[in-house]
Structure 1
Amino acid sequence: MSAPLGVILAGGRATRMGGGDKGLLKVCGRTLLAHVMERLAPQVSGMALNANGDPSRFGALGLDVLPDTVSDYPGPLAGVLAGLDWAAGKGADRIVTVAADTPFFPRDLAARLEDTGTGMAHPLVLAATPDPDRGQVRHPTFGLWPVALRDDLRAALEDGVRKVVIWTDRHGGREALFDGEGEPFFNVNTPEDLVRAGEIAP
């Protein structure tokens, strides 16, 4: 089986960073998107970027830029849907998504998501990490998504569903637990986070 396609989710408005494109901010002299692309590329058979607005600002990346097809910034599920529609057009059956503001995600992310989805009719898996209070916490922008469910997702968004886990739970979604050391899903939400990212960069 060929590797899944990869979609980088960058469709949010970055309000806690004062707006703009978080993915174009720099850590250790390189943009967050450059870090993300470098980690994702070996894990997938091709990549695209989910982002809204003028796509030309990402022209140097050489990626297809996929805008949300659902209005009013409904959240990451809209980016997932854009990615599934793109993958369907390429004849692919699944995608792996990652967030544009999370530069240090696992280098075996796709493989472990796929292993967890083994045996499912429509593999639907979210990354998760241990949590001392809740047992584990899911990371809804990091997942394996089947193209076969794209029309169901479109209908759910049109019905007002916005929370990722509401939709994934509806379809028996599983969790792949990443319980190693460090903070593999550390993401940059604030200027302080950007400074810290530079301090913990491998």
Structure 2
Amino acid sequence: MTYEATPAPGWYPDPHGSGALRWWDGTRWSDQLAPAPSPYTAQQRRRPLDSGTPVYTVWIWLVVAIPALSACLLFLLQPQVLFHGVPGTSRVTIPDPLALIGGPMYFVVIGLSWLLTAAFIVFSWLDYRELLRRGVERPFHWAWSFLGVVYPIGRSVIVRGVAPGRGLAPIWVTIGVYAFSLIVSTIWAIRITTEIIGTATQNVPLGA
């Protein structure tokens, strides 16, 4: 003869299909219901930080400042379009095509841009490591820094989750830095365009 084991008293999924938990007292179902647990368990939630734990590091401020430095590199470039008209004809020649991209300084700017990109990634990694040291569980991964602005945004969201009321400053600084970069780029483009038009007006023969 076999006997079926009776479940121990406890909360179980409601056999009546309510989607909640119903109390089993060991012999029968009671009328007591309780909300079903969220699939987002306590193990998945991050432990809150102590209120005295700093949430900003020197590395995150370097991360958000780098785009502004990158924008300022534009002013090292001085593209020049040198038009030479051929006497007696309407032909125009450009004696130095390299000047179109800013001369040798173009390659210097490209090199500096790569260095700043590498620094952005390294500083993100250092920030990630420091957050771990301060007790942030599973901080936003530094590898997102390969996508640029994604890292400071994701980092701020995670930190805000474990330190309510704090942690969003890098997002606002990032917005300000990118607005600054846009303004700087626009000023540079207008200045270069004006110089090119002026050079063309002075050197291109009429009718060319």
Q: TM-score of the superposition, structure 2-length normalised?
A: 0.23
Q: Which has the larger radius of gyration?
A: 2
TM-score by length of 1: 0.24
